């Protein structure tokens, strides 16, 4: 089970208390009435789903109920940092690179079993 740090409650809580709420730091359209159907579809439904560092919005649903942002490595599923909504994206160079942390899998540790 993952423990996620809520920057508002200032404590780690079980992942069961949280819900992912999409990408963080998205430039939202200023006038949706002028969007074509294709532009509307692209903004609301089409997202990149790549490996590595991603910035996401999360909500502490069963806690304070507030939204916050998180930098998460999608390969290891580890949260590198969480920060309050409205704050700028943290400097990527200060975050631990995703490739530096080995991902421990069952297959990798199976030979260590006694």
CATH assignment of the domain containing 74: 3.30.2270.10
CA–CA distances in Å: residue 47 to residues 12, 96, 110: 29, 24, 36
**Is 46 domain-assigned?**
yes
Determine the pLDDT at residue 19: 96
**Is 107 domain-assigned?**
no
Distance CA 83, CA 106 (A): 31
pTM: 0.74
Q: pLDDT band at 110, cuts 50/70/90? A: low
β-strand 11-14 against 19-23: which pairing, if any?
Answer: unpaired
**Is 110 domain-assigned?**
no
Q: pLDDT band at 98, cuts 50/70/90? A: very low
Shortest CA distance to 71 belongs to which of 57, 55, 58, 52? 55
**Is 101 domain-assigned?**
no
Distance CA 77, CA 4 (A): 11
Distance CA 85, CA 1 (A): 24
- What percent of the residues of the chain are helix, what percent strand, and what percent coil, each to the nearest 5? 25, 30, 45
List, for residues 12-51, the tens digit of each pLDDT value: 999 999 999 989 998 888 888 999 999 999 888 888 788 8
Determine the pLDDT at residue 10: 96
Count how many domains the chain has: 1
Determine the pLDDT at residue 28: 84
List, for residues 47-97, the tens digit of each pLDDT value: 878 889 999 999 999 999 999 999 999 999 999 999 999 999 998 888 765
């Amino acid at each position: 089970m993952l423990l996620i740090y809520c920057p508002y409650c200032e404590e780690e809580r079980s992942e069961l208390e949280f819900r992912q709420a999409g990408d963080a730091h998205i430039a939202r359209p200023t006038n949706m009435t002028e969007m074509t159907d294709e532009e509307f579809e692209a903004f609301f439904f089409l997202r990149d789903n790549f490996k590595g560092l991603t910035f996401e919005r999360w909500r502490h649903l069963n806690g304070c109920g507030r939204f916050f942002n998180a930098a998460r490595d999608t390969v290891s599923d580890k949260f590198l940092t969480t920060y309050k909504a409205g704050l700028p994206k943290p400097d990527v160079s200060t975050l631990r690179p995703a490739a530096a942390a080995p991902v421990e899998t069952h297959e990798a540790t199976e030979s260590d079993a006694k």
